[in-house]
Amino acid sequence: MIQNSSKYSQLIKAEAKRLGFISCGISKAEFLEQEAPRLENWLNNNMHGETAYMENHFDKRLDPTLLVPDSKSVISLLLNYFPSEMQTSETYKISKYAYGADYHFVIKEKLKQLMDFISAEIGDVHGRAFVDSAPVLDKAWAAKSGLGWIGKHSNLLTKQLGSFYFIAELIVDLDLEYDTPVTDHCGSCTACIDACPTNAIVGDKVVDGSKCISYFTIELKNEIPISQKGNFKDWMFGCDICQDVCPWNRFSKPHNEPLFNPNPEMLSMSKKDWEEITEEVFQKIFKNSAVKRTKFSGLTRNINFLKD
């Protein structure tokens, strides 16, 4: 069986690469012992703000065998989203992950193909695909699977590509060969902590979500607190500041997924264009985009908040 585990793991990793994932790592499906106190403290300190869903399924977040009965392995995958073209510098900004089509749909399709491949090549394997849409601690699993280390900004970092990629998982009832974690390479650098304009990075690898610009511009449904006026540095949907300043992201390379390419119109829009955006233009530019999460009303709220 051990021989098969190694063979199956190599097969899966080769197919993941063929499907466009930049890397694939595998770890044993088991209780995340180190993460339990961290998650509990984070929730107890209300660092999730109004995202009440983070309080749900505490046990399932820490134990994949509760999500997928009889699961043996967590297959973690990374998909690059770093764009080749950016918005103009003097405009209201959108987080780079939301430039193109909604990643949930793009990755779900790739995971389905990978699961079909596993069933066809290996046999009767049961599992579930996860893309940031269920109680799974993506970054913890990716780190456990040796795909990178958790940086001080709490994002997964790799020496080769930095942090501009999505993380997804297949949790399966198949014994595989497990990878080992890599070492932390942040050292004494505090660039991300120093650059955060809302002081959301409150400790090493601890982000107070309720202070994060991404939280205010996407998750918060009520009015943005006036105390935050002037802190958002023109970010109207999400925020990339802690990633943009990270030295490891100088190694980021543009993705090769056509579905992640932005609408050219979006890249050239000025502040004035955004301030005058109509619902019709919003629907056209963000037709299949993750920006739709905030709705037209949410985006215009954010733009009005940013206006002088």
pLDDT of residue 1: 45
In a domain, 177, yes or no: no
Quick check: 63 and 32 in contact, CB under 8 A? yes
| Residues 161 and 245 reside in one and the same domain | no
Residue 179: inside a domain: no
In a shared domain, residues 229 and 166: no
Q: Which listed residue (59, 70, 116, 132) is catalytic?
A: 132
Query: Does residue 226 form part of some domain?
Result: yes
Q: pTM for the full model?
A: 0.94
Residues 167 and 217 in one domain: no
The per-residue b/e assignment along 55-80, b for 16 or more CB within 10 angstroms, e otherwise, is eeeeeebbbbeebbeebbbbbbbbbb
**What is the predicted pLDDT for the residue at 3?**
61
Shared domain for 7 and 144, answered yes or no, is: yes
Domain that holds residue 216: 191-249+262-306
Give the tens place of pLDDT for each residue, 237-281: 999 999 999 999 999 999 999 999 999 999 999 999 999 999 999
Q: Within this chain, do residues 233 and 206 fall inside the same structural domain, yes or no?
A: yes
Q: Are residues 51 and 89 in the same domain?
A: yes
Instruction: Give 201's strand partners.
Output: 207
Query: Does 183 reside within a domain?
Result: no
Query: What pLDDT is attached to residue 242?
Result: 98
d(CA 101, CA 261): 8
Whether residue 181 lies inside any domain: the answer is no
Total domains in the fold of the chain = 2
Q: Which residues of the chain have pLDDT under 50?
A: 1
- What 3-state class would DSSP assign to 156? strand
Active site residue 173: no
CB-based contacts of 6, cutoff 8 Å, min separation 6? 177
Same domain for 168 and 225?
Answer: no
